[in-house]
Structure 1
Amino acid sequence: MSRTWKRKIFVAIALITIIFISFLIHRQFIQVSPTKLYSNELTPNSEVKSSSRIILSEDERLILNKISGWIHTGSFNDTRFASSANNSKATILNPRKKYCTGDKLTIQIDMFDYLGNRKTYGGDFIRSRIFNPTLNAGAPGVVEDFNNGTYHVHFTLFWKGKVYISLLLYHSSEAVSTLWKARDNDYGLISFMGTFVNRNQSIRSPCGFKRDSVQDVCEYRPVKGDDSFYCIKQENFDCGSLTTVRTSNQNVTFLRNTEKPLFNSENIAVDIKGDYNDIDVSTCRASTSSNLKTCAIGMESPLPSGFVLQNRWRPVFCNFPDMTQEQMYACLKDKRVHFFGDSTMRQWFEYLEKKLPGLKTFKFPHMAVDDKNNIILFFNSHSHPFVTARTHFVKGSLHMSDEIDHIAGGPNYVLVISLGQHFRPLPIQLFIRRVMNVHRAVERLFLRSPDTKVIIKAENTREIKADMERFSDFHGYIQYLIVMEAFKDLPVATVDAWDMTIAFNSYRVHPLELVVRNQINMFFSYICS
């Protein structure tokens, strides 16, 4: 038998196997008997409580407690007592006459409220960045909160030339506290409507993460893990006939009227002015970046994890090349790469489709094959929730933990995992549960195949004009911290999309191709170093 025919047979077997696994997992959809109807009404009241709480396990509770400890919580009745960027002050600590590349720069922020009173507690969400538009350069800062209204923002001066400073009060501590409490209220910000299909008939049915209907419901859950999605069971329609789900914003808010002004556009991401101008940086010593090793799995990523110069992301702990097409093919040869996540993860898949014309694409399952180089790429969405104006086809959306459990693993297998954007308008306990279910699946994968490569793509920033209650970058930042905390005990690599998008000054849920290219180049370094 010729080599070409062997490759074609291999691809056919791979397709059949994936379809068969999808069928087996969808058999897990079951009908649940009627449950008690809860009389909880969704109203614009921050005291509304969920009737369907997730009971966290010990390891999940530890993560929630750690994250909660970083957030100031309190109540207020007057927005004039909230942090004001215009009244606050930023000052360079220990200013120098001369700055050199590699030097540290610390700026102190003293926070004041709208009445001009000194703040006595912390918790403000500050986005810090240094930049130089001429050099296409940028770097995030690290904010140190003293919990008394004073902050130190730490920067490293990475490049020679002008350095401009941006300190944005993205949310006051009062807004942060409000968002944190509101997110803990309920699932009611987003509605889910499923469509069941039986031959030439279809019917729509309410769905969601709460099992609170007097009617029979269909439960969709992973094989391992308590992470269920429900739809009201419709007569003459099997639970497995759920085909699509569509979401929409409910006319609901968990913000009190006194809290809503905190999220007016003029109070979001406001510049904190400093008593300084731009800084001139000189080269006073030889650069050490050329001595850095190539990025590899197992390296620890510090804060900040890198910077941008000449539109190229430069990690502070490793180096990676700008991959050519030939190098991409060589790196991916004989590999099976599974991309798991949302549309920001699909951007990676589509980027490779565009850059590697030898790939032949299939839409269901979503995969790309190059039989000449024995390459197979898979994209799998992370299953419910998908918060999008478009109808989402659920038959290809299996629980990520189930997908991982059906991967054999080995030295030629690569998994890339991303979770975040679609979970922002839902209770944080749901996100923690999903992350830990995936974490446990990766643990099981390493037990059977410790040489499998796993890369975490962190969540990225998004539009500043988004609905803050549902999609604020504060929610994204908390989720970013949760993922980093959850996976720190496993031998995985991280592509820090959060730091990258801040450095690039990106305010797009789908970053520009320039940003994606840098993410992909770092990914290649991890899997081929």
Structure 2
Amino acid sequence: MVFSDIVMKTCNTKARIYSVLVFCCGLFVLYYWNWQYYNQPVEQTNRGSLKTGLLYLKEEILCSGSIHNSSTAADAKMSYIYPIHNTTYILGDLIHVRIDLFDGSGNRKLSGGDVLRVWMEDKKTSASVSGVASDHNNGSYSVAFRAVWSGKATIKAFLATRREEIVLLYKLYQIYSSLWSIHAVFKGENITERPRCFTRPNTRAQTHWCNLTQENDGFPWYCMKSKNTLTNCDMWIETFSATNIHYELNNSTENTILSWSATNATQGIFRRTVPVVIKDSKLTSKLTSTPIACNRLAPHLTWQRKAPNGFFYNNKWSSLLCNDTLPRTVDAYRHCLKGRTLWLHGDSTSMQFHIRLRSILNLTSHARGHTPVTDTDSTYNFSLSWHAHELPFYHGSQHYPRSTNQAQHIMMDRLPNTTKDIVVLYMYVHFTLVHPDVFRRHIRRLVPSAKNLLARAPNVTIAVRGPHAYFRARRGMLSYWGILYADIWHQEFASLWDKIIYLDFWDLTMAKPSKNFHPHVNTVKQMVHNMMSLLCFRT
């Protein structure tokens, strides 16, 4: 039983829920840290990389509803970033900086839990690389970079998520199930109803529910049942969503905290930066990757978390995990895909991959919003397929038929034993609006289908696309959860690391920051090629 189910079962009456919230008010929320990395220095590995030390507040937060003072929250404009030792380094060195957080009144923060994104860039060479930040749980952070190119560079920091946001969002997940609203359209003769739907029945609502779990490919899905006796649950025909939902917040402070996620991202960028100089070493201007070709890299090595796993130079992504031997040409991509379908199911950020590949391959587009699409090149005998994943999926105001959404395990189960297709499993952005346990449930269901497909179809290629980082997008939609979701992918797929490729784009999107959850088209171009270099012509 997942944690959220336990919470709701023990608080299954309105009175109990309110008593828990009242009891928790004024108490500091108990955090469970990822102690594996807590307060440890960044270590150098035998491959010259850094162990990632990303921290997050784990799922097992016992209660929510604490009252916060937003004026004591961390403020990027008042916080400091500065070098620990010096500002001149040799290519390949570790660069160390420190960050001290202050609130808006200039008072030093004395606790941890805020999430920082730090990167180093050189606009002259269009170079950039992400850093690894370690939280000391006292308002200070140590950050380490690998000096991967020579020349001048500037280190920048972004206050990605304040811990007050996470506590509040977790509270809303438990009470409302979702930060935005999804509606079903029930339609019959002279009757149209548009009730809200949830990943679990809302015990606070005095209403009956349509259990549409079976219709959602086996994933829990409940819609409020109309009081109209002429309406029944079989009338569900369409889905749409809205970005707004009415929250019963305790005070104006909570409303202020909730608004942070929609604040202009530039307000979270530190005013202060750290300039550094990196000198050449052995007459080379940048670090090179290992000699192992990307398509020969053992799958389990793609699941190892070492940072940075690459960097940008001349606006091109240079992998440090493997040697990219795939030409960036139409012919190379066509030859890779010949006789195959590349399945890119998921959300609009996987549709970006579909669109980018379609452009490279000169395919005629048949895409219409979130409607499933398969684009086929009959001359070169390959296809690109996109399909929206199962609910929760926020379609926006446009109405889509039920057939629009389909679970990725259904797609895998339908592939024949003779398939040579490439399957890229991906879920992320839409799940940032619901409780993390929902994401884990959906990822866990992919595992048996992936195992079965690998066992019966020896020529299939399967990859998992991990989360990407972005600044801020819309109310409540934070890439903070990507840190946790990457862990969930690793944990649930641990038994398949030796058979499935993990596409890790966290460092890539940290090095080239994206303000929106949709990465810039040039960033997508690099992500797509990195994916193709790992998946094409595997031996």
For Structure 1 versus Structure 2, the TM-score category normalised by the shorter chain is 0.7 to 0.9
Tell me which of 214, 219, 228 is aligned to 2:221.
228
Moved more, 205-214 or 311-320: 205-214
* 1:371-411 residue CA offsets vs partner (Å, 9 max, x unmatched): 33321322121121122233233213122222222223556
> Corresponding residue for 2:384?
377
> Corresponding residue for 1:350?
355
Residue 242 (1) aligns with residue 236 (2)? yes
SS at match of 2:86: coil
Tell me which of 520, 525, 532 is aligned to 1:512.
520
Q: How many Å separate the matches in 1 of 2:108 and 2:322?
A: 42
The structural deviation recorded for 1:138 is: 1.4
For structure 2, the residue ranges without an aligned partner over 5 or more in a row are: 1-11, 24-54
The structural deviation recorded for 1:115 is: 5.0
Moved more, 177-186 or 160-169: 177-186
Q: How many Å separate the matches in 2 of 1:180 and 1:190?
A: 14
Asked if the contact 1:295–1:319 (Cα under 8 Å) also holds between the matched residues in 2, the reply is yes
Cα 1:267–1:463 shift into 2, 3 Å: closer
Asked if the contact 1:125–1:170 (Cα under 8 Å) also holds between the matched residues in 2, the reply is yes
> Corresponding residue for 2:176?
186
Cα 1:83–1:362 shift into 2, 3 Å: closer
Tell me which of 111, 114, 138 is aligned to 2:101.
111
Q: How many Å separate the matches in 1 of 2:313 and 2:20?
A: 45
Give the CA RMSD over aligned residues: 3.6
Please list, as runs of the form range in 1=range in 2, the aligned pairs for 1:117-266 lying within 5 A after superposition: 117-187=107-177, 189-197=179-187, 203-211=193-201, 214-215=207-208, 217-221=210-214, 226-230=219-223, 232=225, 242-248=236-242, 249-252=244-247, 254=249, 256-262=251-257, 263-264=259-260, 265=263
* 1:338-358 residue CA offsets vs partner (Å, 9 max, x unmatched): 112001111112222222235
Moved more, 402-411 or 157-166: 402-411
SS at match of 1:307: strand
> Corresponding residue for 1:413?
421
Cα 1:498–1:269 shift into 2, 3 Å: farther
Please list, as runs of the form range in 1=range in 2, the aligned pairs for 1:434-513 lying within 5 A after superposition: 434-462=442-470, 464=472, 466-467=474-475, 470-490=476-496, 491-513=499-521
The structural deviation recorded for 1:329 is: 0.8
Q: How many Å separate the matches in 2 of 1:489 and 1:253?
A: 43
Moved more, 386-395 or 472-481: 472-481
Q: How many Å separate the matches in 1 of 2:501 and 2:517?
A: 22
Q: How many Å separate the matches in 1 of 2:280 and 2:417?
A: 47
Q: How many Å separate the matches in 2 of 1:355 and 1:267?
A: 31
Q: How many Å separate the matches in 2 of 1:107 and 1:255?
A: 39
Tell me which of 21, 33, 46 is aligned to 1:47.
21
Q: How many Å separate the matches in 1 of 2:19 and 2:266?
A: 23
Residue 90 (1) aligns with residue 64 (2)? no
Asked if the contact 1:46–1:185 (Cα under 8 Å) also holds between the matched residues in 2, the reply is no
The structural deviation recorded for 1:260 is: 3.7
> Corresponding residue for 2:337?
332
Q: How many Å separate the matches in 1 of 2:168 and 2:124?
A: 39
Q: How many Å separate the matches in 1 of 2:421 and 2:264?
A: 48
Q: How many Å separate the matches in 1 of 2:170 and 2:436?
A: 9
> Corresponding residue for 2:47?
none
- What is the one-letter code of the residue matched to 1:251? H
- What is the one-letter code of the residue matched to 2:139? G
TM-score if structure 2 supplies the norm length?
0.76
SS at match of 1:185: helix
Asked if the contact 2:464–2:500 (Cα under 8 Å) also holds between the matched residues in 1, the reply is yes
> Corresponding residue for 2:346?
341
TM-score if structure 1 supplies the norm length?
0.78
Asked if the contact 1:72–1:122 (Cα under 8 Å) also holds between the matched residues in 2, the reply is no
Q: How many Å separate the matches in 2 of 1:231 and 1:367?
A: 34
- Identical positions, percent: 21
By relative contact order (CA 8 Å, sep 6+), the higher-ranking structure is 1
Please list, as runs of the form range in 1=range in 2, the aligned pairs for 1:396-435 lying within 5 A after superposition: 396-408=404-416, 412-435=420-443
Asked if the contact 1:190–1:250 (Cα under 8 Å) also holds between the matched residues in 2, the reply is yes
Cα 1:439–1:199 shift into 2, 3 Å: farther
Cα 1:231–1:166 shift into 2, 3 Å: same
Cα 1:357–1:188 shift into 2, 3 Å: closer
- What is the one-letter code of the residue matched to 2:339? D
- What is the one-letter code of the residue matched to 2:316? R
SS at match of 1:372: coil
Asked if the contact 1:222–1:402 (Cα under 8 Å) also holds between the matched residues in 2, the reply is no
Residue 270 (1) aligns with residue 268 (2)? yes
> Corresponding residue for 2:70?
79
The structural deviation recorded for 1:504 is: 1.7
Asked if the contact 1:185–1:427 (Cα under 8 Å) also holds between the matched residues in 2, the reply is no
* Count of residues paired in the alignment: 471
SS at match of 2:167: helix
